[in-house]
Amino acid sequence: MPTLLAISIISFIIIQLPQGDYLDREIQRLEEEFGDSSSLAQVEELRERYGLNEPLWKRYLIWISGFVRGNFGESFEYKREVNELIWDRIAFTLLISIGSLIFTYVVAIPLGIYSATHQYQWSDHFLTFLSFVGMSIPAFLLALSLMVFAFDIFGVPLFGLFSAYYEGAPWTWGKLNDLIKHLWIPVIVVGINGTASLMRIMRGNLLDVLGQPFVQTARAKGLKETVVVAKHAVRIAINPLISILGMSLPGILSGSAIVSIVLGLPTVGPILLNSLLNEDIYLAGTLIMMLSLLLVIGNLLADIALAWVDPRIRYE
Amino acid sequence: MNKTQSTTDPSIETAAEIGQLSYRQLIWQRFQKNRMGVISGAVLILFYALAIGADFFAPYHYNEINMRLRHVPPQRLHFSFKDGFYVYGLKSVRNPESLELEFTRDMTQRHPVEFFFKDTDGKRHFFSSAGPMFLLGTDRMGRDLLSRIMYGARVSMTLGLVGVFLSIILGSVLGTISGYWGGWVDNLIQRVIEILSAFPDIPLWMALGAALPPGWSSIQIYFGITVILSIIRWGGLARQVRGKVLAYRESDFVMAARAAGAGHWHIITKHLMPGCYSHIIVIATLAIPGMILGETALSFLGLGIRPPMTSWGVLLEEAQRVTVLLHYPWLIFPAVPVLVVVIAFNFLGDALRDAADPYSD
C-alpha cells in the first residue's frame, strides 16, 4: 500500500514536469484563430474546470481521490473520460504480455534443459550464442525487421492486431481467429529477450543441481538418465524460475509498449507516447499508474505461486 | 584451447598453484582463457577507437547535406590494379510513378578511393573520394550513412559509459551506506529501490524524456538522457553492493580493524570497498548494453537525443516506417553496430564475471 502511494506521487510529479501544459498551447491556438484575447475567458473557464489553477499538492489530492473511485479525469486530447479510453487497451496489453510470458517459459525451459544436459557440446554452444543474440537484440528492431520480412513474403503489412475487415467489427469467431493470426508476431517479439535470459538461467540452475549428491544417488540406484533429469533435477531447478517471474514482468511490459508503437498495436504503448508528447497529463498519469499497478499485482501473484509450489517458503 | 596453452607461460601456471600470483594477475589469466571475451574486448576497443577518431575515420562530416543525392543506395567498392579501390559514378533517373529520383551506377565514370584524402577544408580523412562515394548509401538529406554511423557511435557508445559511471557512483555510495549503517537508513534506501523497480522502465524513460525542455542544447539533452537512464538503473547495483558489504561487515578482518581503532571511513574505503570492486566492474559491464539500448529506444521514439546531434537511435528513427524501409532498406543498417556492440558487451561481461572469481572452479 505505501508502495502504491509512492508510485502515484512519483507518477503525478513526472507528468507535471514538462513546462507549460496542454492549455497553454490551446490558448495559443485560440489566439491565432480569433486574433484577440476575448477567448481568454474561455480558456480561463477550461483551466477552472480542470483545476489547473490549484497548487500542485491539491491537484494531486483531487486526482488521487478520483483515481481510487475509478474516476481518472478527462483527456485533453480526446475530449473524453480517460476511463473510456484505456480499458480495452489495457486488456490487449495484458493479452500480449501474458501470451509472451507463456511463450517465454514454454520455449526457455526445454531449451535450457537441453542445453544443460548437452553441456559443452556444439549444440550447447550454438544455443548459448543464440541466447546471447536474443538477449542483445532490441525488441523494436526485431519488430521492424519482422515486419519488413513479412511484407516481402506475404505482401501484406502486419500492422495492428486486426485486418481492416474486422477493425471495429463486433466480436465473432472470425474476428477471434483474425486476432490470433496477428497476435503471434508481437507475442514472440516481446518474448524473445526474456526467453533468451531465462534459458541461460535454467541452464545454470540445472547444471548446479545436476552436480549435487542426491542426483548422483539417483544415478547410482540405476535410474535412467531421463528419469534422473526429469524427476529429480528439473523439479528442483525450476523453482527459482518462478521467483524470476515477478522480475521478468517489467521487461515484458516495457517491451510490449515499444513493440506496440512500432507495430501499431492498440495497447497502452502508442497512446502513452502520444499523451506524453501532447502533455495530456491525466491520460499519461493514469497509464503510468496502471502499468505500475499491473507490475505490483504481477509480483504479488508470483510470490503466491512460489509459496504454493515450494512449501518451504513462508512469509512472516 | 590450444591458443591458451601457447600464450600462458608454464612458470605462471606453477606460480598460480603455489599462490604467488596477485588477485589481478589471476583474473587476467582467467579472462584470457575465454575466447569470446577476448574477441569482444578487441571489437569494443576497435569501435571506441573509430568513434573517438570519427573526424578522421569518417569519409565525410556527419551533417554534410547534399540535396541532389538523396536516398542513394549503397555503392559497391571495386578494385582494379590500374585504379586501386574505386566506386562507379552515379546516374539519376526519375521514377515515372513516384516521381522520385532514383540512382543507378554509371559505368563510364570511376571515382578512385584515396587514402589520407585531403578535403576542401584541408582536413585529412582516412579514406574518401573526390566523387560521391557512399558505401552505405545516403539518407533523406543526402548525408553519408557510414559517416553518420561513425559519428553516432560517439553519442551512443559514450552515453552508456557515462550513464553506467553515474549509476556506479550512486549505487555504490548508497549501497555501502545501506549495508554499513543498516537501521532506518537501510530501510529507507531499500524502499526507494523497491519503488523505482516497480515502474516498467521504458514507459518511465519515455515520461522523463518527454519532460526534457525543448529549448535545451544538444549537450544538455545528452546529459539529461544520461541522468534519466542512470536514475532508474542504480538500484540493482546498490542492492548487490549492499549484499557484499553486509557479508564483509561482520567478518574477522573488519572486526580486527574496528578493534584496532579504525574509523568508519577507513574501514569502508580500505576494507569493504576493495572486496566489491570486481563485482562492480562486472555489473557495470553488463549494465552498459542496457543503457545503449535504452538510448536507442528513446531516440527511436523521438524522446531522446535530438538532431542535429546524431546517435544510432536518431538514425534508426528514420527507418521507423515500413514504407520507408521497403524503398530504402539500407536505412536499417545502423541496427548492425547496435547489435554488435551490445552482444560484445554481454560476452565481455560474462567473461569478466567468470574471471572475477578466480578462486572458484
How far apart CA B314 and CA B317 sit, in angstroms, is 5
Task: Please state, in angstroms and as integers, the Cα–Cα distance from residue A102 to each residue in A111, A132, A194, A205, B183, following that order.
Answer: 14, 21, 11, 20, 40
Which DSSP state fits B144? Answer: B
What is the spatial distance between Cα A243 and Cα A83, in angstroms, rounded to a whole number? 33
Q: Which residue has the higher pLDDT, B303 or A29?
A: B303
| Shortest CA gap A259–chain B (Å) | 10
pLDDT digits (tens, 9 = 90+) for A29-56: 666 666 555 566 766 776 666 666 677 7
A286-310: pLDDT as tens digits: 888 888 888 888 888 888 887 787 7
Q: Hey, what's the cell of B273?
A: 570497498
Neighbours of A25 (CB within 10 A): 13
Q: Which residues of A touch B329 (CB under 8 A)?
A: 148
**Per-residue CA distances from B167 to B4, B149, B164, B171, B285 (Å):** 35, 27, 5, 6, 12
For B150, half-sphere exposure in the C-beta direction (CA atoms, 13 angstrom radius) is 23
Q: Which of B190, B239, B322, B331 to mutate to test the interface with A (most CBs of A within 10 A)?
A: B322
Q: Which residue of A has its CA nearest to B202?
A: A254
Q: Could you read off the pLDDT of A71-118 as tens digits, one per residue?
A: 777 777 777 777 777 888 888 888 888 999 999 999 999 999 999 998
CA of A108 to nearest chain B CA: how many angstroms apart? Answer: 19
Q: Which residue has the higher pLDDT, B77 or B52?
A: B52
Amino acid code (one letter) for B253: F
pLDDT over threshold 60, residue B5 = no
Q: How far is A159 from chain B (nearest CA, A)?
A: 10
Which chain B residues touch A if contact means CB-CB below 8 Å? 191, 194-195, 197-204, 206-208, 210-211, 213, 289, 293, 296-297, 300-303, 316, 319-320, 322, 325-326, 329, 332, 335, 338-339, 342-343, 346-347, 350
Largest CA distance in chain B: 88
pLDDT computed for residue A107 by the predictor = 93
Question: Which one of B187, B199, B354 would you mutate to disrupt binding with A, by most A Cβ within 10 Å of its Cβ?
Answer: B199
CB contact (8 A) between residue B322 and residue A157: yes
CA distance B290 to chain A (A): 9
Share of chain A above pLDDT 70, in %: 82
pTM of the predicted structure, to 2 decimals: 0.82
Give the pLDDT band (50/70/90) at residue B4: very low
CB contact under 8 A, B346 and A135: yes
Say if the Cβ atoms of B199 and A3 lie within 8 Å. Answer: no
The three cell numbers of residue A160 are: 495492428
| CA pair distance B15, B29, nearest whole angstrom | 12
Residue of B nearest to A262 (CA): B320
**CB of B318 closer than 8 Å to CB of B324:** yes
What's the rounded mean pLDDT across residues B151-164?
A: 88
Q: Could you give the C-alpha distances from A74 to A275, B41, B155, B177, B278, in angstroms and in order?
A: 12, 52, 39, 44, 51
Residue A1, pLDDT score: 64
Q: Do B326 and A151 touch (CB under 8 A)?
A: yes
Within 13 Å and on the Cβ side, how many CA atoms surround B139? Answer: 23
pLDDT at A248: 80
Distance from CA of A136 to the nearest CA of B (A): 6
Per DSSP, what are the bridge partners of residue B128?
B114
Measure the CA–CA gap between B317 and B328, rounded to whole angstroms: 13
pLDDT of A12 strictly over 90: no
pLDDT at A233 > cutoff 60: yes
pLDDT of residue A262: 83
Query: How do residues B239-269 score in pLDDT, each as one tens digit?
Result: 888 888 888 888 888 888 888 888 888 888 8
B310 Cβ contact list (under 8 Å, min separation 6): B62, B63, B148, B151, B152, B155
Closest CA to A265 of A198, A173, A155, A182: A182
Q: Which residues of A touch B343 (CB under 8 A)?
A: 132-133, 136
DSSP B72: P
ipTM above 0.85, yes or no: no
The model's pLDDT over A159-214, given as tens digits with 9 standing for 90+, comes to 666 766 666 667 777 777 777 777 888 888 888 888 998 998 899 889 888 888 88
Cell of A262: 512500432
More confident residue, A156 or B232: B232
